[in-house]
C-alpha cells in the first residue's frame, strides 16, 4: 500500500503509518497538508495519514477544512504519544548549539525547555524530520533539531536532550483517510453540520444526542468563509449500536441546515 504522510520518513506521521498499516508499505512524502488530498484523488496514494489534534496545541483547524473540501472519508484513527528529542551531529553539547529548528507545532510543545536556553535562536521549519535530514546532509554544526527518536536513528544524529516536551502526557490524534467509507465495524463517527440561525438550535442538536444515548466526545466550530459570523460544527460521537447513529442522523436532518458524515470507524482512544 502507498500511504501519503505530511513530512518525510522519520516524521511522526511516518511512525503512525507503520503503527496502523505495518512496515510493508510505501511512504509518499508530502511537505504540506495541502498536498495530501491530491495524492489520493490522483490515485498516487491509497490512504492518507493526517494529524488532526494535539493534547497540548489543540486542533489543526485547516485539516478539518481539507477533509470537508475534498470529501475525504475518515476510516480510522490513531493516537501517538509525542516524545520530542533534541538532536544534532555527534559529539556536540547543548552549550555549543546556537540554533534549534523544527516544525512550529513541535516548537510550541517544547516552550518550557526552550525558555531555559535563551541563547539559542529558534527557527520554524517545514517538518521535524526534514530538519534532522538537512542537518545530516549539510553537516550543520551548532544546529539542532526537535524530532523523534526514529528521525535520529534514520539520519545518524545524536540525541543531546531527551523528552523535552513541556507536558509528559503529550498525544497527537491522527485520522486515516481515503475516499470511501468501507468500515462494517464501527462505534464512532465524525459529523459536520450547520445549524439554523435561531435561538437554541445547537442545544436542540445536543439534545438529540442525549436522547439516543450518544456520547459527544468532541465538538469544534469553524467559521464559514462565504457567510460571515456563521459557523459549521465538526463533532465526534461514540455509540454502542449502529441504530443510534442512524436514528440520530434522521432526526438531525429535520432540524439542521446541512449534515454530512465525515467518517465511521472504530474508537481507538485507549488513553
DSSP character string of the chain: -EEEEEB-TTSHHHHHHHHHH-SS-EEEEESSGGGHHHHHHTTS-SEEEEEEEETTTEE-HHHHHHHHHTT-EEEEEEEEE---EEEESSS--GGG--EEEE-HHHHHTTHHHHHT-TTSEEEE-S-HHHHHHHHHHHT-TTEEEEE-HHHHHHTT-EEEE----SSSS-EEEEEEEESS---SS-SEEEEEEEE-SSTTHHHHHHHHHHHTT-EEEEEEEEE-TTSTT-EEEEEEEE-SSHHHHHHHHHHHTTTEEEEEEEEEE------
Of 7, 9, 4, 15, nearest to 126 by C-alpha is 7
Fold: same for 2-81+170-178 and 188-265:
no
Distance CA(171)–CA(53), nearest Å, equals 9
User: Mean pLDDT throughout 79-104?
Assistant: 96
Angle subtended at Cα 66 by Cα 61 and Cα 71, rounded to the nearest 5 degrees: 135
CATH class of 188-265: alpha beta
pLDDT above 80 (res 176)? yes
pLDDT above 90 (res 113)? yes
Residue ranges per structural domain of the chain? 2-81+170-178, 85-161, 188-265
Report the pLDDT value the prediction gives residue 56, as an integer from 0 to 100. Answer: 79
pLDDT band of residue 183 (cuts 50, 70, 90) is: confident
CATH class of 85-161: alpha beta
Distance CA(249)–CA(261), nearest Å, equals 9
Distance CA(70)–CA(83), nearest Å, equals 31
CB 213: neighbour CB atoms within 10 A? 12
Residues 54, 169 contacting (CB under 8 angstroms): no
pLDDT above 70 (res 30)? yes
Report the pLDDT value the prediction gives residue 215, as an integer from 0 to 100. Answer: 97
Bridge partners (DSSP) of residue 86 are 146, 161
What is the chain's Cα-based Rg?
21
Report the pLDDT value the prediction gives residue 142, as an integer from 0 to 100. Answer: 97
Of 260, 257, 256, nearest to 203 by C-alpha is 256
| pLDDT per position as a tens digit, 43-89 | 999 999 999 998 877 899 999 999 999 999 999 999 999 999 999 99
Question: Dihedral sign, CA of 256, 257, 263, 269?
Answer: negative
Report the pLDDT value the prediction gives residue 271, as an integer from 0 to 100. Answer: 65
Task: Please state which of the ranges 108-112, 114-118, 172-176, 222-226 shows the lowest mean pLDDT.
Answer: 222-226
Region 2-81+170-178: CATH code = 3.40.190.10
Amino acid at each position: 500500500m502507498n500511504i501519503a504522510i505530511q513530512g518525510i520518513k522519520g516524521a511522526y506521521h511516518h511512525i503512525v503509518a507503520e503503527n496502523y498499516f505495518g512496515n510493508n508499505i510505501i511512504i509518499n512524502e508530502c511537505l504540506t497538508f495541502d498536498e495530501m488530498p491530491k495524492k489520493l484523488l490522483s490515485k498516487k496514494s491509497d490512504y492518507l495519514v493526517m494529524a488532526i489534534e494535539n493534547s497540548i496545541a489543540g486542533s489543526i483547524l485547516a485539516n478539518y477544512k481539507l477533509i470537508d473540501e475534498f470529501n475525504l472519508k475518515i476510516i480510522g484513527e490513531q493516537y501517538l504519544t509525542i516524545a520530542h528529542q533534541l538532536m544534532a551531529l555527534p559529539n556536540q553539547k547543548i552549550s555549543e548549539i546556537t540554533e534549534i529548528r523544527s516544525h512550529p507545532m513541535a516548537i510550541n510543545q517544547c516552550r518550557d525547555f526552550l525558555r531555559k536556553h535563551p541563547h539559542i535562536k529558534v527557527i520554524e521549519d517545514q517538518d521535524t524530520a526534514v530538519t534532522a535530514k538537512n542537518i545530516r546532509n549539510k553537516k550543520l554544526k551548532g544546529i539542532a533539531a526537535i524530532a523523534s527518536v526514529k528521525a535520529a536513528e534514520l539520519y545518524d544524529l545524536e540525541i543531546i536532550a531527551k523528552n523535552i516536551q513541556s507536558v509528559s502526557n503529550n498525544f497527537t490524534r491522527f485520522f486515516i483517510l481515503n475516499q470511501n467509507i468501507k468500515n462494517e465495524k464501527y462505534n464512532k463517527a465524525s459529523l459536520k453540520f450547520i445549524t439554523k440561525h435561531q435561538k437554541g438550535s445547537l442545544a436542540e442538536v445536543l439534545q438529540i444526542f442525549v436522547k439516543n444515548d450518544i456520547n459527544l466526545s468532541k465538538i469544534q466550530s469553524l467559521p464559514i468563509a462565504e457567510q460571515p459570523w456563521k459557523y459549521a460544527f465538526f463533532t465526534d460521537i461514540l455509540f454502542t449500536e449502529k441504530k443510534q447513529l442512524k436514528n440520530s442522523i434522521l432526526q438531525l436532518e429535520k432540524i439542521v441546515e446541512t449534515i454530512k458524515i465525515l467518517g465511521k470507524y472504530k474508537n481507538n482512544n485507549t488513553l
